[in-house]
Amino acid sequence: MNEDKPTRNDFLKQYQNKKPNWGPIGLQVYERTYSRSKEDGTKEKWYETVNRVIDGNTNLVPNKHIERDERERLKQLMFDFKFMPAGRHIWISGIKGRQYLFNCHSAGWWDDVRDHYIFTFNELMKGGGVGANYSNRYISNYPKIKHTVALHIVCNPEHADYNREFDRHNGKITLKKLLSTEYSHEWNGAIRLEDSREGWLEALNQLLNKAFYTNGEPLVLDISLIRPYGALIKGFGGTASGPIVLVEMLQEINKLLSDKHGEKLTSLDHMLIDHYIASCVVAGNVRRSARMAMKSWKDEDVFDFIDCKNNTGMHWSTNISVEIDDDFFSAFRKKDKHAKKVYNKVVEGMLKNGEPGFWNRSLSSVKEPGDIYCTNPCGEISMEQNENCNLGHINLVDFYNDETGMKEAFRLMTRYLIRATFGDITDLRQQQVVSRNRRIGVGFFGFQEWLCKQGKKYSTCHSDQKVRQIMRELQNIVRNEARNYAFNLRIPEPVKVTTLAPTGTISQLAGVTAGAQCIYGRYFKRRVRYSNTDENLPKLKNEGNPTEKDVYTKNTTNVIFYCQDKLVEKVIELDFDESVVEGQNEISLEDNLAIQAMLQKEYVDNSISFTINIEAKDVDLDEAKQTIIHYLPQLKGTTIMVDGTREQPPFERISKEDFDNAKNKQVAQGDMDCKNGVCPIK
């Protein structure tokens, strides 16, 4: 039995004066995203964050299940960015109160339709992403909208936001203009909402209950207790959005429900309600909503789904993917008209604006004990209804000359993530599926640098037998440790254990490429989103960095950084041939798909978040269709992004001359955070 005690004080003393080896914008990303305010009002330093995260994780199980010196090893690895739990863990692990450790969730469809929306709203407000499948087979049994709701929202005129002006894309607005003129906050029948997550959930529940199930008096909601815009949120962190975003959400949902009175909601109606919910949470500053919406290729209205983001201004809060299966491939081979039309529309959409993607439900269901339902917002974890994802990543390039150390890091991450399955879960349905599946996702980043250090080109790694062998060995190490540690803890063995995620902000801390992606380009503009209340925003403006109002998100500003990719800048220091460095615009569509298929076969048993980024001039529609259908049966999901198809992309290639002429220049990495930029920042 291990009686080793935590070494909190020893670690803090040893590392408090040690400088982390930040990536080019690593410190800024850390301060914006992960450094929490302490009780004395100061902000955490990296060594304090590391200490909190590892102690929080190892304290989730009895000390006898922690190896001797395991805490110390984990802290050393994490401080050096070799071992990085997902951002959700970095933000919340070890804080006082509940530990909501899980990155993303799937919102199922239950007997009571309200449960879907309340679950979605709850998890988004806790900082997680939410996926859902809107196929007709899941929603067809729900009742018609029974009642129109007379919704009245009231507030004490002394509330700090009452007359405050808020910017909206169509102009300025005040809270007062949105409030009822028929009722007062002093009316005894008003429901006074608490200033808490539960209070916001209650408001949505009351509205949905009256629309779907009950009738009666008008619904009068009093928002007087909700803290004003900019107020500190002590538990989760960040600043409050104020009650106005809740009011807007409730009124938009109520209008949709009223317009559908006497009818059943369509799949896109359900999606739109979830979008209004996510839009509300996005405006909550530190929490960035991320969603995934899926729909079966068999549904008659699948084409409405495929086109739902085209010129509508709606559904920007979600990634979208069409669910395909073995029946689809069979129908496609038989030249079924519907299957061919779906395929052509999806590929054309991909090559036009990056969406939809494909999700292969049949392949994702292999070796799954339950009914696989959808993926998380970025697509790397396929889940049952109500399930969550639980991720961590190893920095491959830091173990270039240390294969033994690399394998040990993968083993330790497996143990870390299995312990994380004991984190707090408030939903009983989710408790049940997590206790049964114990799903984890051990991944990596720094893949291209790792290849380059060995003199290997990214574009040819799919045919490299040594690369394939190492991927298989790492997968076996994770699986074997998962089996052994689960037995030690007397819990079920995790159903799946490996994945590849975008690792956007995680890889930025270390300054290496994200997930399995190669660099975006040699020179580029990078847009980083900041809440308008972020304390770092004025400083960045004063330093001369260009800024622009975000076209997608309220109360958000994009700061533009002119960058040279770190991998280009560090060629000599990293001691490899410059010719092996390739950008995403230099990799063919076929090689990209072959690399993803190789990683799916050799390493990943969950799924892979993999965005193929190509330039418009390189796109031949007919050729692309033939190439994609060849690889599609081998992939659980895939997405293609063509440059220049989205306004305010997170990355935009520029020339060396543009970079040289920029006022402020920096070295950075151009990894793609997510498919269309809606993944959470934590």
The residues assigned a catalytic role are 378, 380
Where helices occur in 283-424 by DSSP H, the ranges are 302-306, 326-333, 337-353, 361-364, 403-420
The two structure tokens encoding residue 658: 């543009």
What's at 275, amino acid-wise? H
Residue 666, Cβ neighbours under 10 Å: how many?
Answer: 17
- Count Cα atoms within 13 angstroms, Cβ side, for 196: 5
d(Cα 340, Cα 327) in Å, to the nearest integer? 12
Nearest to 278 by CA among 645, 554, 610, 556: 554
Residue 371: DSSP 8-state: -
How much of the chain is in helix, strand and coil states, percent to nearest 5?
Answer: 40, 15, 40
φ, ψ (nearest 5 deg) of residue 627: -70, -45
φ, ψ (nearest 5 deg) of residue 505: -70, -30
d(Cα 339, Cα 109) in Å, to the nearest integer? 26
φ, ψ (nearest 5 deg) of residue 152: -130, 125
3-state secondary structure of 598: helix
The two structure tokens encoding residue 300: 């008659």
How many residues in total does the chain contain? 682
Distances (CA, A) of 255 to 120, 185, 214, 252, 259: 20, 22, 17, 5, 6
d(Cα 442, Cα 485) in Å, to the nearest integer? 15
What's at 468, amino acid-wise? R
How many secondary structure helices (H) and strands (E) does the chain include? Answer: 26, 23
Q: b vs e for 587-619, b when ≥16 Cβ sit within 10 Å of the residue's Cβ? A: bebbbbbbbbbbbbebbbbbbbbbbbbbeeeeb
d(Cα 347, Cα 355) in Å, to the nearest integer? 8
d(Cα 615, Cα 379) in Å, to the nearest integer? 23
d(Cα 475, Cα 491) in Å, to the nearest integer? 21
HEC profile for 39-86? CCCCECCHHHHHHHHHHHHHCCCCHHHCCCCHHHHHHHHHHCCCEEEC
Distances (CA, A) of 416 to 67, 161, 182, 501, 538: 11, 44, 55, 17, 38
d(Cα 38, Cα 299) in Å, to the nearest integer? 51
What is the C-alpha radius of gyration for the chain, rounded to an integer number of angstroms?
25
At CA 66, angle to CA 63 and CA 69, rounded to 5? 115
Beta bridge partners of 319: 292
Q: Are the beta carbons of 375 and 321 closer than 8 angstroms?
A: yes
How do strand 391-395 and strand 441-445 relate by DSSP bridges? parallel
Q: Are the beta carbons of 555 and 167 closer than 8 angstroms?
A: yes
